[in-house]
Amino acid sequence: DKVAFNTPHIALIGMMGVGKTTIGRRLAKRLGREFYDSDDEIETASGRTVSGYFHDHGEAEFRAGEKRVISRLVGSEIVKPSIVLATGGGAFTHEPTRDILLSHSLTIWLQGDIDVILERVSRNNKRPLLQVEDPRAKLEELFKARDPIYGLAQIHVPIAKGPHIRTVNRVIRAIN
Ligand code: S3P
């Protein structure tokens, strides 16, 4: 298997529910790298769920914490083995975090459409931003605001229909 050993850190970005965590974990395995998830790191560091953290501290403080976590994972000048990082859906939309991601990693936008995402998040709505009366309207609003920003990622990969492994293969083709 010809895989990319020489690329920098890989950061998966994109809307909640596209599969960044599952795809990232499998991608890391294929590349022989460590996998990290920024939401998990925040939960470990704060001892709170993402949802709980949002409710207690608000979005601005969450974004600041998210930036610290991402900076610690990929922003260091100390040379460490390259990792695969799944970022929370809003991380790349926060400019200071985006700057870190763009300068220290290969950013890959996993693009999914609204119906797929709605279907997935409605199975288990642990996303504070979608805990509203009309999640579709909220998602549409987020898509409109975020798509142009996600578009700044270096590589764009539409998620495949069916099993995540197909998207993993697409990502591997895209980086080779
Ligand atoms: C968010 C996405 C979530 C999580 C938080 C905020 C967002 O991550 O960080 O609920 O702003 O899109 P996932 O993309 O992993 O769901």
pLDDT tens digits, 41-64: 999 999 999 999 999 999 999 999
Residue 88 CA, ligand 1 centroid: distance in Å: 4
Q: Mean pLDDT for the chain?
A: 93
14 lines ligand 1 (CB under 6 A): no
In a domain, 20, yes or no: yes
Domain that holds residue 21: 9-175
| 10 DSSP β-pair partners | 84, 106
The yes-or-no verdict on residue 124 having pLDDT over 90 is no
Test site for ligand 1: of 23, 53, 109, 127, most ligand atoms within 8 A of the Cβ: 127
The yes-or-no verdict on residue 139 having pLDDT over 50 is yes
Q: Whole-model pTM? A: 0.94
In a domain, 72, yes or no: yes
Query: Nearest-CA neighbor of 55 among 138, 128, 131?
Result: 128
Q: How far apart are CA 71 and CA 54, in angstroms?
A: 20
CA distances from 141 to 15, 127, 131, 146 (A): 12, 15, 14, 9
Per the structure, the count of domains in the chain is 1
Q: Classify burial at 76, counting beta carbons within 10 Å of its beta carbon; exposed 0-12, middle 13-18, buried 19 or more.
A: exposed
The yes-or-no verdict on residue 1 having pLDDT over 60 is no
Instruction: Please state, for a pLDDT cut of 90, what percent of the chain lies above it.
Output: 86
In a domain, 168, yes or no: yes
From first CA to last CA, the distance across the chain in angstroms is 11
Give per-residue pLDDT as tens, 64-119: 999 999 999 999 777 789 999 999 999 999 999 999 999 999 999 999 999 999 99
In a domain, 22, yes or no: yes
Q: How far apart are CA 168 and CA 159, in angstroms?
A: 9
Any idea what the CATH number is for the domain that residue 106 is in?
3.40.50.300
50 lines ligand 1 (CB under 6 A): yes
In a domain, 4, yes or no: no
The yes-or-no verdict on residue 7 having pLDDT over 90 is no
In a domain, 3, yes or no: no
Q: How far apart are CA 53 and CA 2, in angstroms?
A: 41
Other CB atoms within 10 A of residue 44 CB: 11
In a domain, 97, yes or no: yes
Q: What is the pLDDT of residue 6?
A: 54
| 107 DSSP β-pair partners | 11
In a domain, 2, yes or no: no
Taking only Cα atoms into account, the Rg of the chain, rounded to an integer number of angstroms, comes to 15
Protein residue closest via CA to atom 15 of ligand 1: 88
Residue 54 CA, ligand 1 centroid: distance in Å: 10
